[in-house]
Structures are given as C-alpha cells and as structure tokens.
A and B are shown apart, each in its own frame.
Chain A
Amino acid sequence: MTKIITDVVCPFCGTLCDDLEVAVSDDGEEILEVYNACAIGATKFLHSQAKDRITRPRMKQEDGSWKEVTYDDAVDYTANLLVDAKKPLMYGWSSTSCPAQGVGSEIGEEVCACMDNTATVCHGSTLIAVQDVGVPSATLGEIANRADRVVFWGGCNPAHAHPRHMSRYSIFPRGFFTGKGSKSRKMIVVDPRKTDTAKMADVHLQLEQGRDYELLSAIRVAIRGEELPDFVAGIPKEEIYETAETLKSGRFTVIFFGMGVTHSLGKNHNIDIAIMVTRDLNDYTKAAIVAMRGGHYNVTGSGQVWGGWQFGFPFCLDLTRGFARYNPGDSSSNDLLVRDEVDAVFVLGSDPPGAHFPVRSVKKIAQLPSVCIDPHITPPTSAVSKMHVPVAFVGVEVGGCAYRMDNVPIETRKVVEPPEGMLTDEEFLQKVLDRVRELKGGQHNHDRVSHQKWFCLRLFRGGLTETKWMSLSKTARSSMQAMSQSRPSLMPLA
C-alpha cells in the first residue's frame, strides 16, 4: 500500500507549483513516485531518497579526505569561523525557507557579516531597476485570468527553465476572462535564439544579441507612433510597429523577462526600459511585467525577508558597521571575493561553484575558511569548503514558507522524514546563533555603537575622511552639509 500526499509544493524553481501529488511508502519513510511535477521537480524529490546521501557533517582533512564530525562540532566550527572573521561573507539563502533566512539574518547581524543571495548573479539587476523606476506587476493568477498578450523577453525560456509556467499561468490556462486558453492569447517571444519557447510563439522577434535596450526603446517609440529607422536590433521597423500595435490592442498585456536582459550588456538599464514600456502601455490598456525569478525556489523570499522587513535592502547587504548598508558593485559577493575583502565564507542554500560564480571567485573561496550547508549529496561547493553540513531538504523533509516569483508566499510541505538525526537548516542556524552569542559574551553591541558614531560623522560629511574633507572648498563643505541635513531623518526623535 502507498499513501498519496496531495497539494505538495515543489521546491525547485520560483514557479512553486503547489498541485503535486507524492506517493510515499506506508511507513511514510520513502518517496515512491511524484505526480504532476516537471522532470526537474520530480528529480529533486527523488534525489532526497538517494542511498548514498551524506547524513552527518564532515570536515576536510589536510590530505583532502573527509572526516565525519558531530553536529555540535559543526556548530562550533561555524560559529567560531564567523566570530573570528573580520568580515565574513554569508552567501546563498535562496534554497531555504524564510524562517531559516530570518535566523540567518540575526547571525549576520551578530557577526557583522556581508550577506548576499543568488540575486547577485541573477535578477539583482532587476531589483536595482525596480528601485529606479518601480514595477507595475500582477500575480500569476491575474495573468491566467486576464492576459491576452503574453511576451517572453530576453533569455526567458520557460519551456526548459520553468517547465510548468506556460501550462499553469501564462499560455494555456483557461482563466475567467480567457476561456479559450492559448487561443485567447497572442504569444510573442523576443530572443536571439530559436528556443523551444520561441517555436511556440505567434511572433518571434529574433533580435541581435545584446540589443534588447535598442529594441525596447524602439517599441516605446512605436507605441507613441513616432518615426523609426528601417532596422532596430536587426528587426525591420514594420515588425516593430506591428508588435507595438499588438501590445496596445490587448486587454491585458504581460511581459515576462529573464536572464538574457538582466546580465547582458546594459543590465539594469534593460529592465528599466522594459518597465517603462509597461508603464507606457498602461496609458492605453492594462499591462504588467513579471521577472521570471527563481532558479532557486525561494530567492524571492530572501529578498523579501532582508529587503523588506529585516534590513530594508534585498541583496548585497553589508552589515560590517553594525547597521545595514547597500551598495551593489561594492558589497556584492563576487566583488568582495575578487578584491580579497572577506576572510571567511559561509554558504547556505546555493551552490556558487556549481552554478553561478566565476572561477576567480571560487578560487578565493577555496583559499578561505569556509563552510557549506547543503542537503545535496556532493554539491560542488563542498569540494572547495572546509566543512560540509548536510541538512534536511526544505519542501521535502521539512516545511517552511517560500515566495513565488510574483511574491506570493506559499507554505511548502513535509512529505517524508529526514534521515535519522539530521537537523533542518533552521535548527542548525539556531544552534549557530546561540553559540555565536555565547562566544561574543554580549560585549559586541557596545563596539558597534561607537563604531557607528564615528561613521555618522563621516556620513554627515558625505562619507569623506578627515583629510579629504578638509581639502574641499568651504562652499563645497557647506553645501554637502546642507544636503545631508535637508534629508528627512529620524534625528528629532532619536
């Protein structure tokens, strides 16, 4: 006999499909089959069942071999590593639950870490664009029920990357106002490659690689009915006018975009203008734009936990001064690593060497004291780390909140028990936090405050050092002071 567990949430990508059914053995110990999931999602569930899974933390020996240690040793090693470091980097956070991210934030604050999530090599430029121009958006259900013009722009290839996106949300569903499913929608794909998604499209604009900004700009021009040159980004102007007309004439237009615009030439400016196209379209019809986020299912959640309620910034957090600073390019993990600015690395819920970091950064990780907290069997990060701590799979062996690409929070479900004695990442982090506090002995806050007073003085002077400050002209100094005073601040209440 098998038991079927319904309404299971898939902890693979940011699509967070929540209609999976999982067959487990009668004793609830083993996953036998996964229904409704795409190939990637099903594999994640089945991967957790591997017989050769590592179930205890292990420490790398000098000869490169691994030695099994207890969780207590791992907690102690991790806490000491973070406390001893002057500027530790705590990276990842995207494949774990929000409560774990919350505990991680507290650790980062205690040890004055630099904290970063996978957005830094993914949709970080989207976050910056949103800070520049905002984002008119909608939930995926709103799109399923209303959208009749669907654009997949720039390296966004749901057929492979978010396999159930089109069937659940964007192209095929028969929504309330879109009763004919895909027949009630016009699908436009803008991609230099002839992807499998592009093959399905009504219109495929095969633009020259790296020319997204030009084409988006041309669409804005065409929406306004102004003159265009004969070709923009390799697309004839007639096609651009036609596309603009298609977008304008819809009842509800949605633009999805992916990594092809976020990390090609122009980066956040590409998103800026894509958002502005959406904004312009709202003067004619209804339009929304959604980032195809979440190669890690909860990268959106870590942006919400930090970027919103804990610190106010979604990624590239620098807590080293005792309060939160945010300066992508300076406080982003790759920049910190290649500039040799960090002296310890902590990775959780991501796999920088396996997936996204350039080898220059990976080499630095290998040279530093480092810990990798990851449920997978042998994640490439463990190969360059000194300590590997296996934890339970969130969404398979423990529940926890995750945020979908449209920021909708969904509680993932526990399907089977983790291997005996294995900690969840939240439990492990809580132990680390307690140990860090023990090691710090409470003397830390005082240092932070005096440090901050010093820094406030510098802020007041535009962040300049004493020598630099004195070298400025008197007018420049007074105008900078006036500028900093005119900001609404909490000073009167402080």
Chain B
Amino acid sequence: MSSGSESRSDAPSLLETRGLVKEFGGLVATDDVSIDVKRGERVSVIGPNGAGKSTLINLITRRLDPTAGDIVFKGDSIVNLKPHQVVQRGISKSFQTASIFPDLTVMENAEIAALAAENGEFGFNFLTHRDKLTSVHELAENTLESVGLLSRAGTTAADLPYGDKRRLEIGIALAAEPDLLLMDEPTAGMSPEETQATVDLIEEVKEELGLTFVLVEHDMEIVFSVSDRIVVLNRGRVIAEGTPDEIRGNPDVQEAYLGGVEL
C-alpha cells in the first residue's frame, strides 16, 4: 500500500488530464477537461446529471477512448493502455453498483484482486497450488480487515446485505493495491446507516492508507466532509474548482449546479 501523506501543496501530480475531450457523435460529453490530482489528495468531482462525470471516470479507467487530450499518471501517458493495464499501474476503481463476484466467498473476492496485485495481469501458474501463494492470501486478509469484513470471509458474497456488498466492492478495489482510487458514487442506493458506515470507511481508509482518491458523488454532505478539493463539472466543462468552502460560496456553482439553493 502507498505510504504516508506528503504535504499537499508541493506534492507532485499523481494524475493529470490534459485537455480531455470525448465526443459521442455530435454530443460533447467531456469538453477540454484538465484536472490535476496531487499525491495524497482527496478530490471530488461533482456536477448535475449529464455533466460528464461518468465519462471522465470511464476515460481515466480506459473504458472509453478520448477524442482528444492526454491522461498522465505518475508522469507517463496512459492513454494507450488497456483497462487492466491501468489497474496494474495503480488506478483502481470502485463501481457505482456492488460489482462483486457473487458466487465466490468474500475471501475469494478479495483474493482475486490481491492475485492481480501480487501476480501481475497474467501468469502461466496453472499448475501451482493456491496455498503456495501466501502473500496473496495475506493481502486479501488485510484488505478484508480494513473494510471490516474479515469475520464474513467464508460467506458467499451474494448472501451479504447490500451495504456489506458495497464495502466488499470497495475492498476489492483496495486489494488491487492502488495508488489512486476512483470511487463512483460509493453510497448510491444505500440506507442512511449504510451511508454513514461508508463515510466512516472512507475516512478510515484515508487516514490509514494515505490513499489518493477521486470521488464522484451526488450526496453533498459526503463530498463536503471527505474532500480536500472539489471539481465542479457542468455540460462537460470544469466550471469551478476549489476547497469545499470555496465551492460552497461560489455563486456560479450555486447557479449552474445547485439551482440557486443555499447550502
């Protein structure tokens, strides 16, 4: 896992998008988006529906090819990489839905991700017994402990309550040992208690692992409580950027995104 948090202001960029454009036919989903995420920073991307948040995430994870622009991670362009290679470089994604392996046990779910982290994208080890891969098992165990699911290790993932499935999903993303974690609406569809538990989890991960993350979220309360910096998108463009306090008081944001509602 990545270590410690450096001082943010002079920390090097971990992820940078440079003039990112994505067009679907005539529609411009992402229009010249340049964001800069420093190592150890917690950045939230907010914006109304259709603002281009999901497109931005999909571009970074390489599910979509940009029409123009570049994505630089740890100093290298990742625009020509495949999705799994991006993960191997250190960008992991937590999905909007509980994207898990339902028929496998909780432990196996974590082990899959740990295997990819420890073993690389592919190996010819089809005659190696799994018990020999102790580092994979240890990493999976540590990850489950950090998301509070170790006591359910033997449970079939499909049998978990929804909140725990989401935690497992975040656990899978963490077990890939990322430098940067992309979280796509981590509390979507959760009850208030589950939402609170997830916020606690994010806070904890943030403290313990010093992870850099980019959060896409609708729930303003979460965004304002966990972010160092907020990027506001509207119609594919960055319309504002700043600390939670700055964003809270920004009239443009209130007009475009919050519809003039006082926060």
Decide whether A and B are members of one complex. Answer: no
Contact surface of A with B, Cβ cutoff 8 Å = none
